[in-house]
Amino acid sequence: MYYSFRSFSLLLLALLLASACKQSGLRGFTETKEGLLYKHHIKNKGAKPQAGDRMDYHLYFRNADSIVATSREQKVPIRLKMPDGMEDNLLLQSLARMSQGDSLTMVRERDSIRMPLPPGYETGDLVFIDVVLLNLKPAAEVAAEKKTLLEGYTRSEDGFYYKRHNKSSGKTPKGGDGVAFDFNIKKGDLVVFSTTENGQPTRHVFPEEETHDHHDHHGHDHGHHHHDHGGKHNDNPILEMLTTMGEQDSVTLIMEADSMARELNPEWTFQPGDLVTFELKLQDIKTKAELEEEQRAYERNANKLSKQAQKAIKAYKRGDLIVKTTGSGLKYHVLEEGTGVVPQQNDGVAVNYSGHLMNGKQFDNSFKRGQPFGFPLGQGRVIPGWDEGLALLKEGTKAYLVIPAELAYGERGMLPDIPANSDLFFYVELKEVFKNK
């Protein structure tokens, strides 16, 4: 399995600070006076990067005969604005020798690299780093591209841009109301994140003490993908925009990446000066009274399903619940089989569940929250028993999973609710499967 490049790509420049490679005699390689040892594989005659130009590239870390890690695991290539000065950075020196479409390999001694490397290298190894320059855009073209992107947008007092695509005449949110909305985050034309990928819109409840002036007034930061029941939102342009929208309204916001660097996943490789696009759609608005009634309904349903699961645990202990057992020891019983697809590894799934210890005590229940839990299957984001058990079910299936401790939280448990070495019992509903594209 390739090493994950999450956050790692931001450290690549530091990794390649100059320290001369003492290895010599590699056939076809050229060594510069700065200590860069490199070899071109594809060499075009195009322009070379200058300060301010934007580069998109991929890196492959290899040993002599196999790939150890690659930035291709990311959703987008590494993007970098060529800085002024590159005397102390061997990666920048490599890129400066390349044109769009070029590829080269640089070689370093493992012990000359002054930060952690992907797993797979030992002391004394040579580290082969393949560099592929996918795209080179001059600084002037980058500026023109930004200007074109912003055509037709209105600039807010706080420095970001927005464009309305439709504006209903319906009600807009007020203090105490809850909203559900979807959004895409885009880097250029590429969608790097979407709430629609797992079928779960973002929800927010506006605090009652807030008042809203429903004009175009906005802030600086974007909303998080979770329930938020408090705090002012005058520093959040997405929440501010939502206060001016009716159901099914849609708006696009554009902001500088610099203004929200902490909110952006490092894998998306936004650089200072890049524009981040948010495509926002308000799905529905609920009043405080509607939210309270909805929550009461959620809790009634959750309590009913919890009691059913507790009865099923007793039936299982008596031997009255017929289960199938897998090779790992996982047991499952299908209550109602769905008609949809069976999820494969890396597919997104949305699951509602009620989780219990084998004495019947409930430790979690998504039905109370009124929103399924979404995650990519088979990536270790959940306990092994879930990754295995849900892969056995069709979309729409309702089932019980009996998960032995070694496929749950094992010897560590999950205190204070789940003691060490606890077998677990789940009632699950596989609501939706989202095929990995």
**Dist. CA 106–CA 35, nearest whole Å:** 10
- Give percent of the chain above pLDDT 70: 87
Q: For position 437, what pLDDT does the model report?
A: 65
Q: Are strands 161-166 and 250-256 parallel, antiparallel or unpaired?
A: antiparallel
45 phi, psi to nearest 5 deg: -105, 15
pLDDT of residue 176: 93
Q: Give yes or no for a contact between 223 and 245, defined as CB atoms under 8 angstroms apart.
A: no
Separation of CA 403 from chain center: 28
The DSSP code for 294 is H
pLDDT of residue 87: 64
What pLDDT score does 46 carry?
Answer: 93
CB–CB of 113/89 below 8 Å? no
Please provide the CATH number assigned to the domain covering 150-286: 3.10.50.40
% helix, strand, coil for the chain, step of 5? 20, 30, 45
pTM of the model: 0.66
Residue given tokens 């040579």 in the structure block: 126
Locate the domains of the chain by residue range.
Answer: 8-137, 150-286, 290-434
Instruction: Check residue 218 and give its pLDDT.
Output: 34
Q: Consecutive sets of 10 residues in the chain, 437 residues long: mean pLDDT of each?
A: 42 43 67 90 94 92 85 83 80 94 92 77 88 96 90 88 87 93 90 80 84 39 35 69 93 90 81 88 94 95 97 97 97 97 93 97 95 90 96 98 97 94 98 85
Per CATH, domain 290-434 is 3.10.50.40: yes
Same fold, 150-286 and 290-434: yes
What's residue 86's pLDDT? 67
CATH no., domain 8-137: 3.10.50.40
What tens digit of pLDDT does each residue of 25-81 get? Answer: 578 899 988 888 999 999 999 999 999 999 999 999 988 778 888 888 777 888 888
Residues in the chain: 437
Reported as half-sphere exposure (CB side, CA atoms, 13 A), residue 377 has a value of 24
